[in-house]
Amino acid sequence: MTTLIIGIDASNIITGGGITHLNELLKSIDSTFLPVKEIIIWGGKSTLAKIQANNKTHFSHQPLLDSTYSHRYFWQKYKLEKLAHQAKIDILFVPGGYYPGKFRPYVTMSQNLTPFEPSTKKLYGLSLIRLRLFLLKLLQTSTFKSAAGTVFLSNYAKERVLNQIPVKFKSVIVPHGVDSKFFRKPRKQKEPNEYSSSKPFKFLYISIIDMYKHQWTVLEAFSDLKQRNLPVSIDFVGPSYKYALKKFHKAKANLDPENRFSSYLGEKNHEELLKLLENYDGFIFASSCETFGLILLEGMAAGFPIACSNRSAMPEILKDAGFYFDPEAKQSIVNALEEMLNSPKEREIRAQKAFEYAKNYSWEKCAQDTFKFIQDAYSDYKSEQKH
């Protein structure tokens, strides 16, 4: 097996799951099972600061990548090819999902499904974000078609994209893993009468505040439950998209200005999240667009009973272990939460199922499958070049 020098374009890996994924891949590099001789990572200063190095990785800070989107695009299109040849890499890995440059071969990933979901794009109305999603779809489509291979995170994401691109290309499904630190055995569930207004059933919703995450609809559902004197509360955790945050704060001011049953705790780092998990009884995830749902997987590993969106890739990951709802319908959320609260035995059964399902995902397997696919894509490309 040929050991490869791999270049990684981290120009569009800035926060969240992309950083987690890249870090976990690099942690798992071991010459005994991965065909990797050396990895060169090109990125901006803030990105490289979040990546953990090892003896096979070399960082190359690119000042243009500390700037705007247009600067990053310019760097990809006109600078990266020369850098890749200078570094004598065998293949380029582009986890950010689009690459307008000329270096070949490269493997990419689909980590952002919003450009391929018309209903999600509509949530942004007539805005620059919607225009950006339209352009991003064009860029990603071109990138996938020219790649030596594309990694998808779920069957749903793969089918959604392939249905909109009338050209077959080499691809594979490689799900994310879950950090072993998240695993906590599911707790014995309490009866509904063991909760009260002073000791409510506490839900946690971890996600960026964004249009397709529907935090305000979740807030409306909790407001309804509280008006019926059901003992529930919810805390929202995560960074924010400013227009969505404005909409969330408006809903919060109307429904719960005094924080009687809800709070927004802002963004938390990895260690802070792990500590937070100890304080809650249930997990909620109301996104309507996900390539995979890493946050959902972490909630499963943490042993929570989970109220979950019935859209996108979520049913594929959570299977029959969730209390499902339509994330854009308040009454659907109310019904799922009420069923969850009033069914302690079912809470226990589904939390245990979710916990067991989470065990099937590991970053080690993700790394092995990803680098094997990169190796195969490289071999296929070289074989095609000979003919």
**Spans of all domains in the chain:** 4-177+362-381, 180-358
- 4-177+362-381 and 180-358: same fold? yes
Domain 4-177+362-381: give its CATH code: 3.40.50.2000
Please answer whether residues 101 and 116 qualify as being in contact, where contact means their C-beta atoms are separated by less than 8 angstroms.
Answer: no
- For the range 133-140, what are the long-range contacts, defined as Cβ-Cβ under 8 Å and sequence gap of 24 or more? 136/98, 136/112, 139/98, 139/100, 140/97, 140/98, 140/110, 140/112, 140/115, 140/116
Q: Which residues contact residue 133 at a Cβ distance below 8 angstroms, ignoring those fewer than 6 apart?
A: 114, 115, 121, 124
- What pLDDT is recorded for position 30? 65
- What pLDDT is recorded for position 32? 55
Topology of domain 180-358, per CATH? Rossmann fold (3.40.50)
Rounded Cα gap, residues 387 and 377, in angstroms: 16
Consecutive sets of 10 residues in the chain, 387 residues long: mean pLDDT of each? 89 85 85 78 94 89 93 96 97 96 97 94 90 94 96 96 87 95 96 95 97 98 96 96 94 96 93 91 98 96 98 98 98 98 97 98 94 94 84
pTM across the whole model: 0.94
Buried b (16+ CB within 10 A) or exposed e, 276-299: bbeebbbbbbbbbbbbbbbbbbbb
CA-to-CA separations, 272 to 21, 157, 269, in angstroms, rounded: 19, 30, 5
